[in-house]
Amino acid sequence: MDGFRFVFDMVVEVNGTENIFWIFYTMNFILCAIAYELGFARKLPLGKTIFVYLMLMVGTYILTIFTTVMRMPTIESLLVIILVLAVYRIRLHTQRKANNSKQ
9 domain residue, yes or no: yes
Total number of domains constituting the chain: 1
- Tell me the residue range of the domain where 24 lies: 2-97
Residue by residue, pLDDT tens for the chain (103 residues) are: 456 677 777 888 887 778 889 989 999 999 999 999 999 888 999 999 999 999 999 999 999 998 888 888 889 899 999 999 999 999 999 998 888 887 7
pTM, entire model: 0.82
On whether the CB atoms of residues 60 and 25 are closer than 8 A, the answer is: yes
Answer whether residue 20 is part of any domain: yes
3-state SS, residue 42: coil
Kindly state whether residue 102 falls inside one of the protein's structural domains: no
Dist CA 14 CA 41 (whole Å): 34
Domain contains 36: yes
